[in-house]
Amino acid sequence: MRKIDRVMREILHQYHERGRRFFNQRELAETCGLSLGTVNPLVSKFELMGMVERRPLGFRLVDPRRMLLYWAATREISGDVAYTTFSADPLPRVEERLSSLGLLTAHAGYRRLFGSVPVDYSSVFVYAPPEEVRRVYGPRRKKPNLFVLTPDEHLMRLGREGAVPPVQLYVDLWQLGSLAGRLLEELERKLGEAPVRAVEEVARRREEAGPP
C-alpha cells in the first residue's frame, strides 16, 4: 500500500474515531512508520488541495470529507491483491476463519464491524499474509471468491475485531464501485455520525471529571 494511504488513513481514523483535527508531522510520521521527509511533502500536498491548514506546531484538518473522497478515488485496491482462490464453504465460515489470520474488509468487514450487512454478496476480501491463507485454501483457482490483500503494519495496528477500521472499509468499498452500492451509503452515514459521537464523549468525560 502506498505511503500516502497510511498518512490519510491515520488522519481520518483519528478524526472519525476521536474527533481529532490537529496533528503534528513528526508524531504522524512515527505512528505511520514513515520518515518526516516523506510526511512533510504529503502535508504540503494536502494543504494545496484545501484539506488542511498549516499551524506553527503542526496542521489542522479542515475538510475531512474531501480527504476521504480523494483517498477513495485514488486508492488502488487491485494493486494490493496478492492471492486469489475459490472456497465452496459458506461465507460466514470463511470469514470466521480468515478473521483469525488478518483483517476483513469490504462486505465481510462491514458485517464483522456492525453485526449484519444489508445487501447480498458473494466474495470475501481480507488483508492477511498470502502464504498463510494459501496454506489453508490451497493453490489459486479460476473464478475466485476469496481475495487476499497485502497488509501493512500500520493497518494491522488499527484493526479491531478482525476487521479494518471504518475509514479503510469505506475506501475499499468505494473502489468496488457498483458492487458496494447501498452498503457504501450506509457506511457514509455511520462515518458522518462518528466525529459527533467522539466529541460528545470527550465533553462527557470532562464534565464527569469536574473543574481542574
Here the cell at position 158 is: 488499527
Here the cell at position 18 is: 476521536
Find residue 61's DSSP bridge partners: 52
> Does residue 195 lie in a domain region?
no
> Structural domain tally of the chain?
2
pLDDT of residue 143: 87
- State pTM to two decimals: 0.86
Is the pLDDT at 198 greater than 70? The verdict is no
For the chain, give the mean pLDDT: 88
Is the pLDDT at 168 greater than 90? The verdict is yes
Is the pLDDT at 132 greater than 50? The verdict is yes
Is the pLDDT at 203 greater than 60? The verdict is no
Calculate Rg over the CA atoms of the chain: 18
Does one domain contain both 114 and 141?
A: yes
> Does residue 194 lie in a domain region?
no
Residue where a domain terminates, one of 40, 74, 108:
74
Residue where a domain terminates, one of 74, 91, 109:
74
Is the pLDDT at 96 greater than 90? The verdict is yes
Closest CA to 81 of 7, 140, 15, 28: 140
- Residue range(s) defining the domain that contains residue 123: 77-180
